């Protein structure tokens, strides 16, 4: 899409640091906020503030090579708990359990490969408070979990309960049916076939109630068994289980970050809006300002939901254009670029992305890999802008 030439990209530009929202709104007829949800939802149980309790997004940022996070990660636990039964929880569990040799064909950054090489983990426990039919895994992601070399996926028959709500969910959703079938098939594995050096345990009907600490560090997770109530929801049973772990990753949802100069709902973690039209403090639409995706409706749904979400927002944008509601004439994109250059903002473009792509592939070719990912922002920026050592364009 970007190669078509009718979409222009300005990267390495941060609203609130390099430009203001007022500047954007002055230069463009409409501004659409599509910033997603980049923070982990809080975990409100005792012990959640212990140092070895991590947010899933922090870990994902690290192993994906985000330029603004530390280059190292504390991988010291042999037994780990992951809280949540969505694709992010699966990604975290898979990355923790995989052997680094199986990741080298990918674009994994060198610092991440080195950190994972020293990872002593043997067991990753994934916990969900509801049953298998309520898990939010997608079928493909779940099946891929079972294909990780030298990693066994272990499920527990006592965690498999299906109430009327579960049966309805299975009948009404092909995705749920596939997820449940994969999980049930795993219950048929014979113990003598589970010989891998690392294991991923999937626990259903377990509600986390406390992260246990000793000497200021995580030593275990206490969960309470739950029971399905008939409609797919659960109730506590009063039966508690202790699982020894030395680290906990919470993947219980995401939360959007505020955007400077834009109203924000701190409770729901979204930009207040009416079907994509951003609302001011008086609940009136702000002309020319829109939102789409998770920052619009919260962190629920995948690509299909996001596409229909965008269609709704754009339909309102087109309606507002036709009705003449956008207000002042915009100064235009070229004037925005001129302002960035005048203030010394080192912005990047799609052509710069292609330069960086070629640079990473060349690094990979030297190491017999598809690419070696660059993670330092300064290097990424300089390569993308074709700058020399003195910061001059060449």
Kindly write down the DSSP assignment for every residue of 75-102, as one continuous string: ---SEEEEE--SHHHHHHHHHHHS-GGG
- Residues 79, 122 contacting (CB under 8 angstroms): yes
Site of tokens 């699966």? 90
Chain center to CA of 272: 22
pLDDT tens column, 57-85: 999 999 999 999 999 999 999 999 999 99
**What is the crossing angle of helices 56-63 and 87-97, to 10°?**
50
Q: Write down the pLDDT at residue 5.
A: 85
**What is the crossing angle of helices 174-186 and 164-172, to 10°?**
120
* Assigned architecture for domain 29-37+256-329: 3-Layer(aba) Sandwich (3.40)
Q: What's the pTM?
A: 0.88
Tokens of 113: 């490969």
For the chain, the 3-state helix, strand and coil shares in percent, each to the nearest 5, are 35, 20, 45
Site of tokens 């501004």? 31
Residues 331 and 320: their CA atoms lie apart, in Å, by 19
Task: Show me where the domains of the chain are located.
Answer: 29-37+256-329, 39-254
pLDDT tens column, 342-366: 999 999 999 999 999 999 999 988 8
Cα 228 to Cα 125, 155, 161, 218, distances in angstroms: 21, 18, 7, 30
Q: Write down the pLDDT at residue 392.
A: 63
Q: Write down the pLDDT at residue 390.
A: 59
Q: Write down the pLDDT at residue 317.
A: 97
Residues 53 and 112: their CA atoms lie apart, in Å, by 20
Phi/psi at 348 (5° precision): -120, 165
Q: Write down the pLDDT at residue 283.
A: 95
Residues 382 and 353: their CA atoms lie apart, in Å, by 11
List the chain residues with pLDDT less than 70: 389-394
Fold of the domain spanning 39-254: FAD/NAD(P)-binding domain (3.50.50)
- Residues 211, 164 contacting (CB under 8 angstroms): no
**Given CA atoms 100, 101, 102, 106 in this order, what sign does their dihedral have?**
positive
Q: Write down the pLDDT at residue 15.
A: 95
């Amino acid at each position: 899409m970007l190669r078509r030439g009718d979409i222009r990209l300005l990267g390495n530009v941060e609203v609130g640091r390099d430009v203001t929202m007022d500047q954007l709104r002055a230069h463009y007829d409409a501004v659409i906020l599509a910033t997603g949800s980049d923070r982990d939802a809080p975990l409100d149980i005792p012990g959640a503030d212990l140092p070895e309790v991590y947010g899933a997004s922090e870990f994902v940022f690290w192993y994906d090579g985000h330029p603004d996070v530390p280059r190292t990660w504390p991988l010291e636990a042999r037994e780990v708990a992951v809280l949540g039964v969505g694709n992010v929880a699966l990604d975290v569990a898979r990355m923790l359990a995989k052997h680094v040799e199986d990741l080298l064909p990918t674009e994994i950054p060198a610092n991440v490969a080195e950190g994972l090489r020293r990872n002593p983990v043997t067991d990753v426990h994934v916990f969900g408070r509801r049953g298998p039919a309520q898990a939010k895994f997608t079928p493909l992601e779940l099946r891929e979990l079972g294909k990780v070399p030298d990693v066994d996926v272990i499920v527990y028959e006592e965690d498999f309960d299906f109430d009327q709500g579960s049966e309805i969910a299975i009948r009404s959703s092909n995705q749920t049916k596939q997820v449940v079938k994969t999980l049930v098939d795993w219950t048929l594995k014979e113990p003598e076939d589970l010989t891998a050096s690392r294991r991923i345990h999937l626990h259903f009907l377990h509600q986390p109630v406390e992260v246990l600490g000793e000497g200021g560090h995580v030593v275990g997770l206490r969960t309470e068994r739950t029971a399905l109530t008939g409609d797919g929801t659960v109730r506590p049973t009063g039966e508690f289980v202790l699982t020894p772990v030395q680290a906990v990753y919470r993947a219980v949802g995401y939360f959007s970050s505020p955007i400077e100069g834009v109203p924000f709902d701190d409770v729901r973690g979204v930009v207040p809006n009416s079907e994509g039209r951003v609302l001011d403090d008086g609940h009136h639409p702000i002309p020319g300002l829109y939102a789409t995706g998770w920052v619009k409706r919260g962190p629920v749904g995948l690509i299909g939901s996001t596409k229909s979400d965008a269609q709704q927002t754009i339909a309102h944008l087109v309606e507002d254009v036709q009705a003449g509601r956008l207000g002042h004439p915009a100064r235009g994109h070229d004037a925005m670029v001129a302002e960035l250059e005048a203030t010394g903002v080192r912005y990047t473009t799609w052509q710069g992305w292609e330069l960086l792509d070629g640079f990473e592939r060349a690094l990979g070719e030297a190491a017999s890999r598809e690419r070696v990912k660059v993670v330092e922002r300064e290097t990424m920026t300089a390569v993308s802008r074709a700058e020399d050592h003195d910061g001059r364009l060449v």
